[in-house]
Amino acid sequence: MTYEAGFFEPGQFVTHPRCPEWGVGQIQSVIGHRVTVNFEHQGKVLVNTMLVELVVID
């Protein structure tokens, strides 16, 4: 399932489905389909949500 661009918000916690070793990440910014996430074991990563389905942690 691909989320709409407006689904993600700064402050949300997510994981990257293809890179679980990165750990939990917190969304820093959202510009269109580009989401900057600060992962606990990888640092800041720019994710294109048209290509990667980030998993939101409730």
**What is the structure's pLDDT at 3?**
53
**What is the structure's pLDDT at 58?**
83
CA distances from 54 to 15, 37, 41 (A): 6, 10, 16
Side-by-side strand order, sheet with 34-39: 43-48, 34-39, 25-31, 13-15, 55-57
pLDDT category of residue 1 using cuts at 50, 70 and 90: very low
DSSP designation for 14: E
Q: What is the spatial distance between Cα 53 and Cα 25, in angstroms, rounded to a whole number?
A: 14
- The per-residue pLDDT for range 2-41, each reduced to its tens digit, is 455 568 999 999 999 999 999 999 999 999 999 999 999 9
Model's pTM, two decimal places?
A: 0.88
User: What domains does the chain contain, in order, with CATH numbers?
Assistant: 5-57 (2.30.30)
**Which H or E run includes 8?**
none
Higher pLDDT, 18 or 58: 18
In the predicted structure, residue 52 carries a pLDDT above the cut 50: yes
